[in-house]
Amino acid sequence: MPASTNERQALERERAELSAQITADQRELADTSAQNTTRWEFLVWRIRPAVKRLAEVEARLAAMKAEA
């Protein structure tokens, strides 16, 4: 049974938001001084789960496309 359009749209929206967040955090990470270890560690801590969730979202979207 194919997933609903609303679910697909929600996943596509989440993918876009996650991509934007990861890009912004990676940019900030590149600009963060090596001396500011607290901020650097926070950004790395925030990027890791976002990358993992993005992979999950992309896998679900690929599965939906395969079902269609």
Q: Is the dihedral of CA 64, 3, 12, 40 positive or negative?
A: negative
Confidence at residue 5, expressed as pLDDT on a 0 to 100 scale: 79
Give this prediction's pTM: 0.86
Q: How large a percentage of the chain has pLDDT more than 70?
A: 96
pLDDT tens string 6-38? 999 999 999 999 999 999 999 999 999 888 999
Domains, the chain, ordered by start: 5-67 (1.10.287)
Amino acid at 23: T
* pLDDT beyond 90 at 2: no
User: How much is the average pLDDT of 37-41?
Assistant: 94
